[in-house]
Amino acid sequence: MRIALVAHNQKKDDMVALAIEFAPLLRQHTLMATGTTGGRLQDEAGLTVERLLSGPLGGDLQIGARLSMGEVDTLIFLRDPMTAQPHEPDINALVRACDVHNVPCATNMATARMLLEDLSRR
């Protein structure tokens, strides 16, 4: 599976913790991430990740474009609902692309864990 991983700043610690917990599973898949998220996943979880641009610089749009081309099978996007983001339209576009193309999209830890647990049973 090709899994995209994205986390807003206030959610990056959660993303790293999730990645460490599921590292053996995630290593069996192809990973891509927005820039800063990807850097932390490489450095702190030891994962091999294709790093795209940082979210505010177009990374969400890059993932959305790849997803729309059929190159992403699932998205874990830990959004921060409490902080306004300068690139809100890009965030909405990425989540919308998941709905348009029927790609599973986990936007909080509980759903992300369910998604990864389901993947680990396959």
Ligand X SMILES: O=C(CO)COP(=O)(O)O
Closest to ligand X by CB, 75 vs 115, is 75
Indicate the DSSP class of residue 9.
Answer: G
Catalytic residue among 43, 60, 73, 80: 60
Binding residues, by number, are 8, 12, 34-37, 54-55, 87
| C-alpha span between 33 and 43 (Å, rounded) | 13
Compute the C-alpha angle 71/55/69, nearest 5°: 15
Binding residues for substrate, by number, are 8, 12, 34-37, 54-55, 87
Position 37 contacts ligand X (CB under 6 A): yes
64 Cα distance to chain centroid: 11
Which spans of this chain sit near ligand X (rule: CB under 6 A)? 6, 8, 34-37, 54-56, 59-60, 91
Catalytic residues: 60
